[in-house]
Amino acid sequence: MDRIRIRGGNELNGTIPISGAKNATLPLMIAALLTDDTLTLENVPHLADVEQLIRILANHGVDYAVAGKRLHQDPGLGRTIHFNARTIVDTTAPYELVSKMRASFWVIGPLLARMHRAKVSLPGGCAIGTRPVDLFIDGLRALGATIDIDAGYAVAEAKGGLVGNRFVFPKVSVGATHVMLMAASLAKGETVLENAAREPEIVDLAKCLNAMGAKISGAGTSTVTIQGVEALSGARHPVLPDRIETGTYAMAVAMTGGDVTLTGTSAALLQSAVGTLRDAGVTVESVENGIRVYRNGGGISPVDVMTDPYPGFPTDLQAQFMALMTRSSGVSHITETIFENRFMHVQELARLGARISLSGQVATVEGVERLRGAPVMATDLRASVSLVIAGLVAEGETTVNRVYHLDRGFERLEEKLGNCGADIVRISS
């Protein structure tokens, strides 16, 4: 099993290209099930989750063709992948596939909308929380589907097709909003979604669906209206930049000092996280085709933060920010409101010398003068990269084990950091 070795102490200087967003790519790929024409996605990142979803879609009969990167091409430029679901050969998503990636449950929406039936395994447990699928099921039932839970599967049917309706999400859910956008695009009549998620990835999916012929308005607000259409066509759509990757590298620069330009992205994608970084003493400037991040000589100020749905501080940046706060000049408090088990990185950061105490959903971080390298274990995707950020400044050598978590969401992380001066290498077992 691969691991990453880091020798801390180097500033980061240079340029890091930002890849296409994982959290946008996955629902966009699933949207290919809605049409018998070809959906072409540009700027698709090289990630383990993308490869897994390709296998899942192929199980349903989706053909695909990948245009790879050319030699010496910018590592931040993603692939172009053509998806064609002209023939759906199977409307069942089996446990052995769905259990490997929760987002694969989302195929239930497009399959119901186009084929009027679906049998999808419940995704099972998740390391960072329960993440129930009841919002998905309730939403699809509101569109006229009958859904029964049988032997660990959601067995869904919509005789005659889905029918538009008003649905109020009892709590904000990005995944459920994705599914309802796709399902309602082929439903008869009008669907109004209230308390919908507002993330940029929601807007990106709506743009793609509209390019395919859907009629969606209000994406990016809490109320989204969808006028159902009889059929969708193919389209060509570029995946938006990854805001979590953008924020992660910004925090890595904040941690180490130095001066890095993140290209192919924008500060607007980070929303409140930009203000949080500035409060910590980091300079974030918009430049042509990206943002510049630097902290030359100044210390890291403690900042209290609470995760919240977009445009609040992202839960997917909480672990990275905690790593940054371990080197602040005081005490900070980090409150996690989205997932109940998303502090598993605390004990691993403590192995590097961090001082963190937990009380319910609040982590109190007392900044320390130095961290020291040690072997650590990645527990989930975002937690694993927080250990990398801490390792960049830890004295001596840090080894991050179980880096397959990193490969799920960060494209060529060690290469991008290494090109900016980090002493980081991947070691294959």
Cα dist. 141→1, 120, 134 in Å?
43, 15, 10
pLDDT digits (tens, 9 = 90+) for 283-317: 999 999 999 999 977 899 999 999 999 999 999 99
Residues flagged as binding site: 22-23, 102, 131-135, 171-174, 316, 338
Please tell me what DSSP assigns to residue 202: H
Spell out the CATH class of 22-238.
alpha beta
Architecture of domain 3-18+241-427: Alpha-beta prism (3.65)
Query: Which of these is catalytic: 126, 168, 331, 425?
Result: 126
Residue 166 tokens read as 């008003």
Residues flagged as binding site for phosphoenolpyruvate: 22-23
Where are the chain's structural domains? 3-18+241-427, 22-238
Peptide bond into 302 cis (omega under 30): no
pLDDT digits (tens, 9 = 90+) for 317-359: 999 999 999 999 999 999 999 876 678 899 999 999 999 999 9
Distance CA(223)–CA(33), nearest Å, equals: 25
Residues flagged as binding site for UDP-N-acetyl-alpha-D-glucosamine: 102, 131-135, 171-174, 316, 338
208 catalytic residue (yes or no): no
Residues contacting 178, CB < 8 A, separation 6+: 27, 30, 106, 109, 201, 202, 205
Q: Does 22-238 match 3-18+241-427 at the fold level?
A: yes
Query: What is the model's pLDDT at position 356?
Result: 97
**pLDDT exceeds cutoff 90 at 222:** yes
Query: What is the model's pLDDT at position 67?
Result: 81
